[in-house]
Structure 1
């Protein structure tokens, strides 16, 4: 009985490791993101506080059946355009699926992400005061 429990625990632990490591590798810095022509990332921004404006979903399609499927860059640009209309500074957790054929829509991709605004001015100072270590 004990070997079965140990084996099950080891298998569970081994399958969770890649998920934990994935979150660490997928973070970007604020400076890196702001240097990008399209400030969209598949991960999170951990070095600057932000406010979530909303969640974005967008269907990206090719113009005709003769055009190529939407590329990764096109999908990211479309997400950014929708976020910019919401007055966002960036899009985090961007995801999109493979090109699919559904009914009369050929080669479309569903994309989603989270539109954010970075805290500035008085709001940023209040956040820093709240999260600064207290002297003991």
Structure 2
């Protein structure tokens, strides 16, 4: 009887947890005016063209477009753990939408386990545009 209760509890918990991973991202975009963002729309790079680094760029002048954050979550215990590559893809996508050339000063942090997630990985960086 005790085995049936445990099994039933696991079935209920599994059905309530969902089947897909989810992720969030945000942009702190205080430095970009409306005119600059319309110019960026003309020359956007694809996400795969966005350069990523955990260092500052010192060999080329650039302007900051804003700080971006991306979080990838593991929604069930059966999904694989979020990786830095997953976070990097989200950072590249967000930077591409801003019209950035690169994301610099990238850092990662573990979000841990919460009520809605079995684990998460967060990445933050600064989206920049090179000055020509």
Please report the TM-score for the alignment, with normalisation by the length of structure 1.
0.57
Indicate the larger mover: 61-70 or 46-55: 61-70
Higher helix share: 1
Mapped partners of 1:74, 1:113: distance in 2: 14
Shift of 1:62: 2.9
SS in 2 for 1:46: coil
Higher strand share: 2
Shift of 1:59: 1.6
Mapped partners of 2:81, 2:98: distance in 1: 27
Of the candidates 59, 66, 91, which is equivalent to residue 103 of structure 2? 91
What's the Cα RMSD here? 1.8
Shift of 1:118: 0.2
Structure 1: unaligned runs, 5 residues or longer: 1-35, 121-136
Confirm or deny: 8 A CA contact 2:53 2:104 kept in the other structure: yes
Q: How many residues align?
A: 85
What is the correspondence of 1:108-123 to structure 2 with a 5 Å cutoff? Answer: 108-120=120-132
Mapped partners of 2:120, 2:94: distance in 1: 17
Confirm or deny: 8 A CA contact 1:56 1:82 kept in the other structure: yes
Using a 3 Å threshold, how does the CA distance of structure 1 residues 85 and 111 change in structure 2: closer, same or farther?
same
Shift of 1:48: 0.4
**Larger of the two Rg values belongs to structure:** 1
What is the correspondence of 1:35-114 to structure 2 with a 5 Å cutoff? Answer: 39-62=51-74, 64-98=76-110, 100-114=112-126
Mapped partners of 2:61, 2:111: distance in 1: 34
Using a 3 Å threshold, how does the CA distance of structure 1 residues 38 and 117 change in structure 2: closer, same or farther?
closer
SS in 2 for 1:96: strand
